Homo-oligomer: A and B are copies of this chain.
Amino acid sequence: MGKVVAALSMSLDGFVADENDGVAELFGWYQNGEVEVPSADPRWVFHVTEASARFLKHSLAGAGALICGRRLFDRTDGWGGRHPAGCPVFVVSHSVPGGWPRDDSETSFHPDAIGALEAAQKVAGDRTVSVSTPTLTHQYLDAGLLDELVVSLVPVLLGTGISFFGAQEVTPIRLDDPEVIEGRGVTHLTFRVLR
C-alpha cells in the first residue's frame, strides 16, 4: 500500500493559513521561480525554483488520492471538480454539499475520517494518499496511520492563524530526521513518523 502523507506549507510559528484562511504569505514559493511546473488543472501553473520543482514534481507525480475536510473543500469550491494533483479527492463531511457528487469529478464524500482513508487507500494503490487538513492529520497521527509529515517551512512569523499541529491526543510523536530541500522562500522538510 502507498504512504499516507500530510503535506502543508507552514510558517515558522506553525500556521498553515491566517485567521481568514488566507495563504498569501505561505504560498509565495509556488510562483517565485523560473521552472514551470504544470498541474492537472490548466488554470494552475506553478513557477518555482529548481529545488522546489524537484520537490513539487515528485509530490504531484506520486499522488494517488487526496483527503481533505469540508472547510477546505468549500473554501476551494472543490477545486472546480479537479484537484491540481489530478487525483481523486475524498472529502470528510457529515453532509454532501448541494450539486455533489458530480459525474465529471472524482470527488467523493465520507462521514468519518478512517472510512475516508480506507476508501482513498483502495483507490491510490501503491501511490501516496495526501492529507490536506490539520484536523484530519491529528486524527491519523492519533490512530497511528500517518507515515510522513511534509512541511514546506516558510520563513515568516504570522502570529495567529490556523495551526498545523496542536490537537493530537497521543504525544510525544517522534519523527526521523527530515530530508531537506532548500528552496527560495521555503525549506521543504520531509519527516517520517516513527512508531
Contacts and interface: CB of A to CB of B under 8 A. Distances in A.
Interface of A: 11-14, 25, 141, 149, 151, 153, 155-160, 164-166, 168-169, 171-178, 180, 182-187, 189, 191
Going nearest first, the 6 A-B pairs with the smallest beta carbon separation are A159-B171, A13-B165, A155-B175, A157-B173, A14-B14, A156-B172
Contacts of A153: 189
Contacts of A157: 141, 165, 168, 171-173, 175
Contact of A13 (B14, B158, B159): B14
Copies of this chain present in the complex amount to 2
Given A155-B176, A160-B171, A187-B189, 4 more contacts: A11-B172, A13-B164, A155-B174, A159-B172
Given A12-B165, A13-B165, A155 B178 contact: yes
Contact of A166 (B159, B174, B175, B191): B159
